[in-house]
Amino acid sequence: MLKKLVIVFFVLFGYSCYSQTAKLNEAAPNFTLKDSFGKVHSLSDFEGKIVVLEWINYECPFVKKHYNSKNMQNLQTKYTKKDIVWLAICSSAKNKQGNFSNDEINERSKKHGAKFTAYLIDEDGKVGKMYGAKTTPHMYVINKEGKLVYAGGIDDTRSADIDDIETAKNFITAALEELLAGKPVSIQSSKPYGCSVKY
Amino acid sequence: MKNKISLFTIAILLFSFIHPLNNLFSQNRTNAAAKLIFDSFIPGKDSILKVGVLFELEKDWHIYWRNPGDSGIPTSIEFILPNGLHSSGIQWPVPSIFNYDTEVNFGYENQVMLMSDIFIPSSYALGSIKITAKIEALLCKYICIPFDTILNTTIDLTSDKTLNDHASKLFEETEKLLPISNHNLIAKANYEIENLHLSIDNLNETQMKYDSFLFLPYENGLFSYTAEQKIVRDGNQITLIVEPAQFRTQKPDSLEGILVMKGNGSIQAYEIKVPISH
């Protein structure tokens, strides 16, 4: 009987953990995922820090735009040096585009010179759906108080063309600079653009 | 001889599987084609040359409407024309709705023609003109591939242009799929707490008989596309109740888009522009 109760508790607990919906200016829903080296990370591990979530699929042309140009890696390098946590999350389901073995993820990340804190694997898509991630890339910023303060595109230029990066307004830079200066984020949402997340 | 051919065939097949160029070929495989088609034109009489970019897409692949929905990017066509000529924007036919589990997209599959007008002033000295169309589209199935191409053609505007039946039919059918902008429908929109209420009045008996009504906004990021648009029917009026997008931070002051009516195998769309009262 006790065993059954324990099972029911954990099923309900597990469900409630992932049944929340991310909302702007509210506490960012917690999650726990393994990274590409097998290490477990929870959002709550980074309490008191600014956190960036980046939905990723290395095969998507829009992700390629930001990695082949080094735009994404430059942002990762700049802001992780400022004690900001950068979590790339892949919600591609098994046998879908962007779902790779850990070895291949690490090889691709190394080849790109990626500087994120961790590449997290969300193969069942629960975290992606909880955050309403629709595209790759789809970006989120969480402030030091743990509240979601930005959700949307990386910038304002909806294209797969590398040449557009230079003239685009980068919403992540803007949000992070404001947070680092102790200011509220002025542009809190934009329409993300890119490939669909391969749930 | 037969054995030699078999061995040669096997060798070629093996080479094609293991050679690194194999990947290159498969990545560059074209899943779509685009070409320019011109409507009939009579010099001295017509001041508009209608041009269509005809997209032919492999089965299950699609390109996007002006508002692509939850992912994708709008298809773009930029015309480069001789000095003195200019073009209209794309005249978008009613898109198909691709409804997946977690997202909704608006676009076109199989075959679609995106039409534009090229305006020819009466003072323009007619002759042969070069027309270039720069096309940027995203082609998606379960993966996405950029479909960027440049189409060039020269057309002689000094003689009458007539169309063959096939091209003529393409223009006629595409015209039928354009939303009607000149109509008697009366639209009102307001917010009730978070949901947008869009009322359309003055619908006639035929229009009220349609089974489904759906409003597709031109601006992306206003609505949740996965949430059902609730319909309330009252006399000659319908009201659509629409949920906002998950991360929308501002309520817009106006709304532009198309009201799509479907039923009994037919489809009709009306362009709606309406201020939103708060």
Residue range A21-196 forms a domain whose CATH class is alpha beta
How many inter-chain contacts (A to B, CB under 8 Å) are there? 68
**Inter-chain contact B71–A135, Cβ cutoff 8 Å?**
yes
Dump pLDDT digits (tens) for B41-74.
988 888 999 999 999 999 999 999 999 999 999 9
Other C-beta atoms closer than 10 Å to the C-beta of A20 total 15
Residue A61 confidence class, pLDDT cut points 50, 70, 90: very high
Q: What is the pLDDT of residue B21?
A: 34
Asked whether the beta carbons of B188 and B201 are under 8 A apart, the reply is: yes
Tell me, what's the pLDDT at B160?
85
| Predicted ipTM of the assembly | 0.85
The stretch A31-36 carries a mean pLDDT of: 98
Average pLDDT of chain A, as a whole number: 92
Given pLDDT bands bounded at 50, 70 and 90, which one contains residue B178? very high
- Give A141's DSSP letter: E
CB contacts of A132 in chain B (<8 Å) are: 246-247
pLDDT of residue B164: 83
**Residue B101: its pLDDT value, please?**
81
CB atoms within 10 A of CB B168: 13
The full set of domain ranges for chain A reads 21-196
pLDDT exceeds 50 at position B15: no
**Cα B139 to Cα B123: distance, rounded to the nearest angstrom:** 41
Domains identified in chain B and CATH numbers: 31-176 (2.60.40.10), 186-277 (2.60.40)
Q: What is the mean pLDDT of residues A87-112?
A: 97
Rounded to whole angstroms, the Cα distance separating A105 from A92 reads: 12
pLDDT of residue B25: 30
Q: For chain A, what percent of residues have pLDDT higher than 70?
A: 90
Probe site for chain A from B27, B100, B143, B251 (most A CB atoms < 10 A): B143
Contact B122, B45 (CB under 8 A): no
Which of B73, B102, B249 shows the shortest C-beta gap to A129?
B102
Residue A189: is its pLDDT beyond 50?
Answer: yes
Q: Which of A53, A191, A199 to mutate to test the interface with B (most CBs of B within 10 A)?
A: A191
Between residues B26 and B169, which one has the greater pLDDT? B169
Burial pattern B205-237, b for ≥16 Cβ within 10 A else e, equals: eebeebeebbbbbbebbbbbbbeebeeeeeeeb
Q: Is B141 at the interface with chain A, CB within 8 A?
A: no
Q: Which long-range contacts (CB under 8 A, 24 or more apart) does B27-31 make?
A: B31/B57, B31/B58, B31/B61, B31/B139, B31/B141, B31/B145, B31/B147
pLDDT of the residue at A2: 53
Instruction: Please say if the pLDDT value at position B24 is more than 50.
Output: no
Q: Hey, are the CB atoms on B246 and A23 less than 8 Å from each other?
A: yes
Instruction: Answer whether B236's CB lies under 8 Å from B202's CB.
Output: yes
CA atoms within 13 A on the CB side of A156: 10
Closest-CA distance, B246 to chain A, in angstroms, reads: 7
> For B208-237, what is each residue's pLDDT tens digit?
999 999 999 999 988 999 999 999 999 999
Q: CA angle B220-B223-B226, nearest 5°?
A: 110
| pLDDT at residue B18 in the model | 37
Angle at A11 between CA A9 and CA A12, to 5 degrees: 65
A164 has a pLDDT exceeding 90: yes
**B268–A contact, CB cutoff 8 A:** no
**Torsion angle (degrees, nearest 10) of CA A57, A191, A153, A26:** -100
Q: Is the pLDDT of residue B9 over 60?
A: no
Instruction: Note which residues in 79-138 of chain A have CB less than 8 A from chain B.
Output: 96-97, 125, 129, 132, 134-135
Region A84-91: mean pLDDT is 98
Range B66-97 burial, b when 16+ CB lie within 10 A, else e: bbbbbbbbbbbbebebeeebebeebbbbbbeb
A85 neighbors A117 (Cβ within 8 angstroms): yes
pLDDT value at residue A78 = 98
What pLDDT, on a 0 to 100 scale, did the predictor assign at position B12?
Answer: 42
Residue-averaged pLDDT of chain B: 88
Distance, CA of A67 to chain centre = 15
B243 contacts chain A (CB < 8 A): no
Taking only the tens place, the pLDDT of each residue in A113-146 is: 999 999 999 999 999 999 999 999 999 999 999 9
Using the predicted structure, report yes or no on whether residue A183 has a pLDDT greater than 90.
yes
* Chain B from 53 to 72: CB within 8 A of any A CB: 70-72
Residue B38: per-residue pLDDT: 93
